[in-house]
Amino acid sequence: MTTKLILDCDTGSDDAVAIMAAALHPELELLAITTVNGNVPLENTTDNTLRVIDAIGVSIPVHAGAPRPLVRPDFPIPRHVLNEGREEFQKMRLDFPDPRSTASGRNAVEVLIEHYLSDEGPETVLVAVGPLTNVAAALTAEPRLAARIPRLVIMGGARGWGNVSATAEFNFWVDPEAAAVVFSAGIRDVLVCPLDATHDAPLSRAHCDRFDAIGTAGAVSTSLMVRQRIDTYPGSEHGTLDAAPVHDALCIAALVRPDVITEWVDAAVTVETGGLHSVGAMVVDDRSWSPLAHNARVALRADADIFADVLSEAFSA
Ligand code: BDR
Ligand code: CA
């Protein structure tokens, strides 16, 4: 039995590992990739996505989606201000050869609506590892989608520290209104993999050695990207850190090995859209006396070795 999925992403290096794992794992069937503005502008997330699928020799339809957040003209702090002086941190172009394949020319939102209203919709997991703009736009344009998406797995949010501000994680912060729309849509099975879980399962240089030994294109390029992430991770001075989170790919591992998530809470989740110091923050209400209905499962801890096992399976296939 394989799990069908659509992956919505803003391809930087952790999205790239997620794409490769989803495309190559024998228990997964990646039907389509939709791209969104996020790590880099839409044009570049789409171009990076095409580079990745070409590099591993798979043919998967790629549909470009939203070039900006749902409501705001730009991020809460505009991209050029946020990235000033750290151009190297967020590379526009991943280190793969120029793509040969091209995007479909169809809009991601239109494709999501069409797919989830089709017979295949109710058997296709949606995995969203970028800002939630495309998903929110699809749910807003076609509210019947909420009941047709059997499962939504999201990388985003932080119950503890954020990575853009003390409270907010990047994906939710980039488009907080979209994230709020998605959590209020009524999708029955939502798994959130926030920073709490992804930081608990970092991939290490030893895991990279294992990928190198597998030697396939997916394994070797993942090893390179993960080593780059370790070398450039905040706090790593001259390569002194041994491991770094590869956030988005953890969502893919959770599809194959649910036990990669070792601790979670069921909760009423929403995302702060105002707030001087808290815009984009994920609010996780798992109080037993909360009046709010639970709408998501929030992963809190994860197992790095199981994560690496799933990637190894994908790259050995
Ligand atoms: C998330 O933000 C992006 O930079 C990563 O690709 C990941 O989806 C982590 O906060
Ligand atoms: Ca991402």
Q: Cα 33 from chain centroid?
A: 12
- pLDDT tens sequence across 247-264: 999 999 999 999 999 999
CA distance 238 to 186: 46
Which positions ≥6 away from 238 have C-beta within 8 Å? none
- Tell me phi and psi for residue 302, to 5 degrees: -150, 165
> Does residue 234 register a pLDDT over 90?
no
Q: Of all residues in the chain, what percent carry a pLDDT higher than 70?
A: 97
Q: Of all residues in the chain, what percent carry a pLDDT higher than 90?
A: 91
Pairing of strands 28-35, 152-155: unpaired
- pLDDT tens sequence across 105-151: 999 999 999 999 999 999 999 999 999 999 999 999 999 999 999 99
Question: 170 C-alpha vs ligand 1 centroid, how far in Å?
Answer: 6
Which pLDDT score, from 0 to 100, does residue 46 have?
98
For the CA of 13, the closest atom of ligand 1 is 6
Question: 118 C-alpha vs ligand 1 centroid, how far in Å?
Answer: 30
Every domain of the chain and the residues it spans:
3-316
Q: Is the CB of 196 under 6 A from ligand 1?
A: no
Which of 273, 274, 265 lies closest to 297 in space, CA to CA?
265
Q: Cα 29 from chain centroid?
A: 17
Q: Is the CB of 14 under 6 A from ligand 1?
A: yes
CA distance 73 to 60: 30
Which positions ≥6 away from 234 have C-beta within 8 Å? none
Quickly list H helices, 3-107.
Answer: 13-24, 42-55, 79-82
Question: 142 C-alpha vs ligand 1 centroid, how far in Å?
Answer: 27
Q: Is the CB of 8 under 6 A from ligand 1?
A: no
Over the chain, what is the mean pLDDT? 96
Q: Is 247 a catalytic residue?
A: yes
Q: How many residues does the chain have?
A: 317
Report the top-level CATH class of 3-316.
alpha beta
Question: 290 C-alpha vs ligand 2 centroid, how far in Å?
Answer: 31
Residue with tokens 């707030």: 275
Counting ligands in written order, the one closest to the CA of 196 is 1
Q: Is the CB of 169 under 6 A from ligand 1?
A: yes
For the CA of 14, the closest atom of ligand 1 is 6
Tell me the C-alpha to C-alpha distance, in Å, between residue 230 and each of 73, 106, 112, 207, 223. 33, 36, 34, 12, 10
pLDDT tier for residue 237 given thresholds of 50, 70 and 90: low
